[in-house]
Amino acid sequence: MTVLVTGGAGYIGSHICVELLEQGYQVIVADSLINSSEEAIERVEKITGKRIFFYQANLCHKQDVAEIFDEEDIDAVIHVAGHRSIAQSVIDPLEYYYNDIAGTLVLCNAMRKHNVRKMIFSSSAMVYGDLEVDDMPLREKSPCGKVSSPYGRIKVALEQMMRDIHHADPEWNIVLLRYFNAIGAHPSGLIGDYPKMTPNNLVPYIGEVAVGRQKSVGIFGDDYPTPDGTGIRDYIHVFDVAKGHVAALKLMEQEPAVRTYNLGTGHGYSVFDVIHTYEKVCGVPIPYEIRQKRPGDIAVLYADPSKAERELGWKAEKTLEEMCADSYRWKSNSNGYKF
Ligand code: UFG
């Protein structure tokens, strides 16, 4: 089976490619390299000893996408490409809406034209919006709260668009995977999270402090309605997220439908929990300072992942210690990628 991975040179995409290749799939990657490096593709090939067919393609450019579908025989698409910063989506919503919505429209049109109707879409826990602690853990059917950012609203819109596409043409087989907070790196230390700009996610930033590239971690708010006042998230190893995609691909043999799954561990950890666990695994103190809340942030978010376990036979395996240890190995053994 040949799978096109959009955004396959990025953080989550590159880990998905490793899993796919190790499970015997043929992999084609389309990536604009706007926030990623082709070196990640070379590293995936090094880890797996297998080849990836790479296209530098911006999904908003019809011609780029048409060329891939004209040349390749694609069975299914894993659509990971998209902007990733919640805070940046508040600052520049136009760029976020344009890139993510136009890119997905162009992709889906090319899929329709070439009779490819198997799609796994990277959605996000952010579609649940700002809910109360009592609403946790989040089930796929949980009532959604007020979505707090353009990033979340784009994911809601794209999920709905996928449902409409299936409704109009029931041959489309679509899996919506709602990622919680993917962290960690491949245990080889060869691939990991390496945004072009200074990271603004918690764990990559803690890593920068641990290796001495930054002085201290800013904690964005300590008066949330949580036990220690800091935000709570469901951190999941990127390896487990990648395995969730391979499990979802198996559903492509079943009757076409739109199926939605949480990819989380079911455990919520605060910012302090993560800082202390990272300190424990890397053996150096992580200085921090309390800062203002970040726009678009919410207090608490963790999954009920039992539907994915029941229907996909998938369950997250890695602990928070393993996530932090792999993140630290990636940070300390490498200078990231060349851009
Ligand atoms: N945080 C800090 N300091 C930092 C960075 C983050 O205190 O320097 C806090 C945030 O306020 C939040 C928690 O750490 O409480 C996690 O923040 P991240 O930026 O690491 O992650 P987010 O929950 O904001 O978002 C991430 C991805 C999204 C994805 C979401 C799913 O960036 O793409 O998880 O839950 F949708």
- Per-residue pLDDT of 63-122, as tens digits, reads 999 999 999 999 999 999 999 998 899 999 999 999 999 999 999 999 999 999 999 999
The angle subtended at Cα 156 by Cα 150 and Cα 158, nearest 5°, is 100
Q: In this structure, are strands 217-220 and 258-263 parallel, antiparallel, or unpaired?
A: unpaired
Peptide bond into 137 cis (omega under 30): yes
Ligand 1 pocket test, candidate residues 201, 203, 216, 235, most atoms within 8 A of CB: 201
CA of 327 to the centre of ligand 1 (A): 15
Atom of ligand 1 nearest to the CA of 274: 14
Tens digit of each residue's pLDDT (9 = 90 or more) over 296-337: 788 999 999 999 999 999 999 999 999 999 999 999 987 788
Taking residues 134-163, what's their average pLDDT?
A: 93
* Ligand 1 center–CA 148 separation, angstroms: 13
Q: What is the pLDDT of residue 339?
A: 67
Stretch 161-168: mean pLDDT:
98
Q: Is 124 in the pocket of ligand 1 (CB under 6 A)?
A: yes
- Could you tell me the distance, in angstroms and rounded to a whole number, from the CA of residue 41 to the centre of ligand 1? 26
Q: Which domains does the chain have, with CATH numbers?
A: 2-333 (3.40.50.720)
Q: Are 300 and 179 in contact (CB under 8 A)?
A: no
178-211: per-residue pLDDT in tens? 999 999 999 999 999 987 777 789 999 999 999 9
- For residues 55, 60, 62, 64, the Cα torsion angle rounded to the nearest 10 degrees is -10
**Mean pLDDT confidence for 215-227:** 96
Phi/psi region, residue 222 (left: phi>0; alpha: psi -120 to 50; beta: rest), is alpha
